[in-house]
Amino acid sequence: MRKITTLLAFLLLTGLFAQTTNVMTPEKLWELGRVGLEDIHPNGKKSIYGVSRYNLDENSSKRELYEVDITTGESKAITQINGKVYSAQYLLNGEKIGFVYKGQYHIMDADGQNIRQLTEIPEGIQNVKAYEREGIVFLLFSKEFKTQKSTSDLYPNLPKAEAMVTDDLMYRHWDSWSDDKNQHVCFTRIRLDGGKSMAFDFTDIMKDETFDSPMLPFGGAEDFELSPDGKNIAYVSKKKVGKEYAISTNSDIYLYNIESKTTSNITKGMMGYDKNPSWSPDGSFFSWTSMPRDGYESDVNELWLLDVKSGQKFKLIEKDYVSSYVWAEEDRILYNHPKDGTEQLNEIEFTFKKNGFKRVSEGSLLTDQHNYNHFLYANGTIVVERQDMNHATELYALDKKNKLSQITKVNDNIYSTLLKSRVEKRMVTTTDGKQMLTWVIYPPDFDPAKKHPTLLYCQGGPQSQVSQFYSFRWNFQLMAANGYIVVAPNRRGLPGFGVDWNEDISKDWGGQAMKDYLSAIDDLSKESYVDAENLGAVGASYGGYSVYMLAGIHEKRFKALISHCGLFNLESWYGSTEEMFFANWDIGGPYWDPAFKTSYTQFNPKNFVQNWDAPLLVIHGGLDFRVPINQGMEAFQAAQLRNVPSRFLYFPNEGHWVLSPQNGLLWHSEFFGWLDKWLK
């Protein structure tokens, strides 16, 4: 009997050990629930969040809503619609929850019962915000309107013709061709009277305008806001068209008065991106973020305040990159920003006197080795999305005593069975004597006595921090799980390390940043556990450009290269990309102007093809208009004609990113197949 008990114990222990020695796989990555914060209860004790889950067989996804008790961490499903549910908000002091489903606004009891539809608006609504006062819901949303003539309007006798005629730039944008429609901000009011009220009518506050709000392609509900007194709507728009739109980042914040139906420009004369309009809780202050320079999309993002009574404007946070912010009290704002390879959560308190604002205190609330992203505040509690290189987003709560606790555990059942990677912060000395923060991610079964193939990760942007992000494509945990050490340097041109460090990349794409990459991989290659004979370099967008550039200057360091949506030929890229302000600021200007000769000669990857010798995988999407498909085709063709081992992976219906589940699995299969072929 004792032998049987011992054997059973052994089997149980080895079974448990087997369950905890798995590593991340592409399939498991798609099993993870993708958590997104929706709203926090006014009492600060509950929160709504959404979870997106993917069906690989059906190549589709659904999103349901959940509510979590912040004190106990207990979660419950509040929708089981088997669809995609968004824009959830507490109404009637938490007794009801409003949300968007199939393009229409719905309401339900707080427990998910008694769902009913509140709008019946043609073609549906998007980017919804609800404001409830005394049983009336004021609904702000965006909707698409036909504002211009199309080719079929111009040629009604040719109904089957498929063409577009344009006389100006911005005829396509990121992944879509320009058409005859624009997104406008709209509103409607709905009385909650026991189920009898439904909104059919609405007001388009930008009627007949040929401009967009939210700003395409990435703007959302954060681009508009209703004032606390319900009298004004602030919204963001770049009211330019054609070439003027293509070369400028000068968006403004407009104020629409509901009673007078008049519109004024709050930020006139402020020349960069003005975004994220908001009011203090009592409406005495208006706030927004602003970039000072026109044409520079990665400029410092400063926080401004306007005293509504006096009309005075003041800069509250300057020379910093405010990612997002919320009002906590009348004199306290919470915000996050990039800092030292993480996204940190800060607070600032201030007073207001006749001579302006005075900062009372400012400091970091959360500064550990994680990213703190979207967050909300209510009654002394902060709920925030947190992630790191080993964990996808979960929700955490920070209470009045600054105690941080995890409140959702959507993916704990998967992560509990996985071995994690060790993530190390390493400072590397650059060729100009600076210290560069570099993340090193080790395989979960890392053995320092063995040599490991190693990947240099090249970041896109170019001004986009290598932080503690968790990507479902460029996933460091997955790369490490496949046996690779990953070296991810915060090279020149990234925020979070001072303004100069971020701006040093502009007009120097192929200069110091390339030296920083090589410094990072050379520094780690000195370690005995790095297989210096099996190094690879991978990256997307500017990271893909970096791979093409390194291919010609790496001096036989790398044995495998992967470039996704990379820029290969800066001349043809300048002639086919869409937002020209980006090209003009970062490259300098057009290829026909001799003032920018360096960008098109010394920093142009096509000019170093004669040195290519490392096997190259090229990946590109057919709907990528930021870095058009010709860039990948030219690079692949050059590699083929030079007899460099190469492969071309083409996704005809993907843009700058790969979003389809099955395409994502195929991407990872080709990605690791290529690396394993040449580095193992």
Give the pLDDT confidence of 134-145 residue by residue, as tens digits: 889 999 999 999
Report if residue 266 sits inside a domain: no
Strand order in the sheet with 646-651: 423-429, 435-441, 485-489, 452-458, 530-540, 560-564, 616-621, 646-651
Predicted confidence at residue 18, as pLDDT, reads: 39
Range of the domain at 562: 419-679
Predicted confidence at residue 139, as pLDDT, reads: 97
Q: What is the pLDDT of residues 348-370, one digit of tens each?
A: 999 887 666 777 888 889 889 99
Name the 3-class secondary structure at 152.
Answer: helix
Give 184's strand partners.
Answer: 143
Total domain count for the chain?
1
Measured CA distances, 307 to 103, 125, 283, 330 (Å) = 37, 33, 9, 12
Report if residue 580 sits inside a domain: yes
Report if residue 658 sits inside a domain: yes
Among 109, 49, 116, 113, residue whose Cα is nearest residue 85 = 49
**Side-chain-side CA neighbours of residue 259 (13 Å):** 3
Distance CA 142, CA 362 (A): 35
Q: What is the CA radius of gyration of the chain?
A: 26
Range 406-412, long-range pairs (CB < 8 A, 24+ positions): 406/73, 407/47, 407/68, 407/70, 407/73, 407/383, 408/35, 408/49, 408/66, 408/68, 408/73, 408/75, 409/73, 409/75, 410/32, 410/33, 410/35, 410/51, 411/32, 411/33, 411/35
What are φ and ψ of residue 164, in 5° steps? -135, 135
3-state SS string for 374-430: EEEEECCEEEEEEEECCEEEEEEEECCCCCEEECCCCCHHHHCCECCCCEEEEEEEC
CATH classification of the domain holding 462: 3.40.50.1820
With contact defined as beta carbons under 8 Å apart, do 310 and 294 qualify?
no
Instruction: Judge if the upstream peptide bond of residue 214 is cis by omega within 30 degrees of 0.
Output: yes
Among 275, 225, 233, residue whose Cα is nearest residue 252 = 275
What would the mean pLDDT of 558-578 be, rounded to a whole number? 98
Distance CA 343, CA 337 (A): 5
- Determine whether 229 is an active site residue: no
Q: What is the pLDDT of residues 263-287, one digit of tens each?
A: 999 999 999 999 999 999 999 999 9
Structure confidence at residue 5 as a pLDDT band (50, 70, 90): very low
C-alpha 620, offset from chain centre: 20
Report if residue 385 sits inside a domain: no
Report if residue 582 sits inside a domain: yes
Q: Which helix (H) or strand (E) holds 512?
A: helix 512-525
Q: Which helix (H) or strand (E) holds 337?
A: strand 332-339
Q: Which residue among 47, 541, 546, 599 is the active-site one? A: 541
Distance CA 604, CA 559 (A): 22
Among 547, 445, 530, 544, residue whose Cα is nearest residue 487 = 530
With contact defined as beta carbons under 8 Å apart, do 573 and 567 qualify?
yes
Q: What is the pLDDT of residues 599-649, one digit of tens each?
A: 999 999 999 999 999 999 999 999 999 999 999 999 999 999 999 999 999
255 pLDDT exceeds 90? yes
C-alpha 182, offset from chain centre: 23
- Determine whether 212 is an active site residue: no
Q: What is the pLDDT of residues 591-606, one digit of tens each?
A: 999 999 999 999 999 9
Structure confidence at residue 10 as a pLDDT band (50, 70, 90): very low
Residue 598: both structure tokens together: 């360096």
Name the 3-class secondary structure at 648.
Answer: strand
Report if residue 317 sits inside a domain: no
Predicted confidence at residue 355, as pLDDT, reads: 67
12 pLDDT exceeds 50? no
Q: Which residue among 370, 391, 620, 656 is the active-site one? A: 656
Q: What is the pLDDT of residues 65-75, one digit of tens each?
A: 999 999 999 99
Average pLDDT of every residue of the chain: 94
Report if residue 474 sits inside a domain: yes
Percent above pLDDT 90 for the chain: 91
Among 16, 66, 11, 59, residue whose Cα is nearest residue 38 = 66
Residue 293: both structure tokens together: 């320079």
Strands 104-109 and 116-117: antiparallel
**CB burial string 213-223: b at 16+ within 10 A, e below:** bbbeeebebbb
Predicted confidence at residue 4, as pLDDT, reads: 38
Q: Which residues are CB-neighbours of 620 under 8 A, at least 6 positions away? A: 564, 565, 627, 629, 631, 632, 633, 648, 649, 650, 651
- Determine whether 656 is an active site residue: yes
Predicted confidence at residue 86, as pLDDT, reads: 96
Report if residue 610 sits inside a domain: yes
Q: What is the pLDDT of residues 426-476, one digit of tens each?
A: 999 999 999 999 999 999 999 999 999 999 999 999 999 999 999 999 999
C-alpha 48, offset from chain centre: 21
DSSP-derived letter for residue 371 is: E
3-state SS string for 530-570: EEEEEEEEEEECHHHHHHHHHHHHCCCCCCEEEEECCCCCH
Structure confidence at residue 194 as a pLDDT band (50, 70, 90): low
Q: Which residues are CB-neighbours of 128 under 8 A, at least 6 positions away? A: 86, 87, 100, 105, 139, 140, 141, 221
Q: Which residue among 323, 624, 646, 668 is the active-site one? A: 624
What would the mean pLDDT of 491-515 be, rounded to a whole number? 97
Distance CA 389, CA 488 (A): 11
Among 83, 89, 123, residue whose Cα is nearest residue 104 = 123
Q: Which helix (H) or strand (E) holds 232?
A: strand 232-237
